[in-house]
């Protein structure tokens, strides 16, 4: 097994993509721009590339979580990663839109998730970072989300966004992944195990299928169809001997 793949178990396919990008960059002596990468993927890519190439990253605004990465065989004097910021205001008649609503509408246009950067969903405003080549498609085709009329336009102003986190405590028998997922979705361990084994759960952006996996303190758990959660151990034990954790739900 390639040592790179061996070092990044669970991320072998992504590691292979990084090596392919590097080969294109070095063989053709030109810049290569990746799709939007998750924080985990960005970290892996930077470790694999090391100092072999010049790197530049950008997600469209200072606090970006998902970013595109430019690899170059020469030092960059002017970086352009082809990212467009789109914004739309809406009136929440039925309910306030969620991140899942917006993502579903955009992927419903046939746009892959890695072609979209951060999606910032506020009470009456949506901000989307996207590959510039797709901005016209979104502005033309995405006119309705969750019964709310939407009209996206290109936005060039400064973006300031603070992720809202609503927290509550829960008591679990152990830090096993199935116990943590069960507490996050307020459902049975059996339901949690079905989600995990169905490849619907990621921990720190890594898909996991092992229900026995022990979650670390301050890990991020993403559950398809339910959202993303921040898990923190409080250090407390309940009267029944269970571990008390704090679950933060990203809004």
169 and 208 in a single domain? The answer is: yes
Q: Which domain holds residue 230?
A: 165-250
Sign of CA dihedral 172, 175, 177, 180: positive
**What CATH code is carried by the domain that includes residue 131?**
3.30.70.330
Listed in sequence order, the residues at least 6 apart from 18 whose beta carbon sits closer than 8 Å to its beta carbon are 44, 45, 48, 49
> Of 53, 72, 91, which one is at a domain's C-terminal end?
72
We report the CATH number of the domain holding residue 224 as 3.10.290.10
Cβ neighbours of residue 205 under 8 Å, at least 6 residues apart?
38, 39, 40, 41, 220, 222
- Please say which residue of 47, 72, 97 terminates a domain: 72
Examine the pLDDT at 136 and tell me if it is beyond 70. yes
**Beta-sheet pairing, 243-250 with 165-172:** antiparallel
Q: Could you read off the pLDDT of 177-221 as tens digits, one per residue?
A: 999 999 999 999 999 999 999 999 999 878 889 999 999 888 899
Is pTM, for the whole model, over 0.85? no
Q: Is residue 37 predicted with pLDDT exceeding 60?
A: yes
| Domain count of the fold of the chain | 3
Return mean pLDDT, the chain. Answer: 89
Question: Is residue 160, in this structure, part of any structural domain at all?
Answer: no
């Amino acid at each position: 097994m390639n040592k790179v793949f061996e070092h990044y178990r669970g991320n072998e396919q992504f590691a292979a993509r990084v090596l392919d990008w590097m080969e294109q960059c070095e063989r053709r002596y030109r810049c290569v721009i990746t799709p939007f990468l998750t924080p985990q993927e960005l970290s892996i890519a930077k470790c694999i590339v090391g100092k072999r190439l010049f790197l530049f990253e950008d997600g469209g605004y200072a606090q970006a979580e998902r970013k595109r990465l430019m690899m170059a065989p020469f030092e960059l004097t002017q970086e352009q990663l082809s990212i467009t910021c789109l914004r739309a205001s809406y009136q929440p008649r039925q309910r306030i839109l969620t991140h899942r609503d917006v993502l579903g509408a955009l992927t419903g246009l046939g746009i892959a998730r890695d072609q979209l950067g951060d999606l910032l969903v506020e009470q009456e405003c949506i901000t989307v970072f996207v590959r510039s080549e797709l901005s016209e498609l979104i502005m033309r085709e995405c006119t309705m989300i969750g019964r709310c009329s939407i009209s996206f336009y290109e936005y060039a102003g400064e973006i300031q966004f603070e992720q809202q986190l609503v927290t509550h405590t829960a008591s679990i028998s152990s830090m096993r992944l199935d116990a943590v997922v069960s507490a996050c979705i307020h459902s049975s361990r059996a339901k949690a195990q079905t989600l995990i084994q169905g490849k619907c759960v990621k921990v720190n952006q890594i898909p996991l299928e092992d229900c026995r996996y022990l979650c670390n303190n301050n890990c991020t758990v993403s559950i398809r169809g339910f959202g993303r959660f921040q898990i923190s151990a409080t250090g407390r034990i309940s009267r029944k001997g269970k571990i008390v954790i704090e679950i933060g739900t990203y809004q």
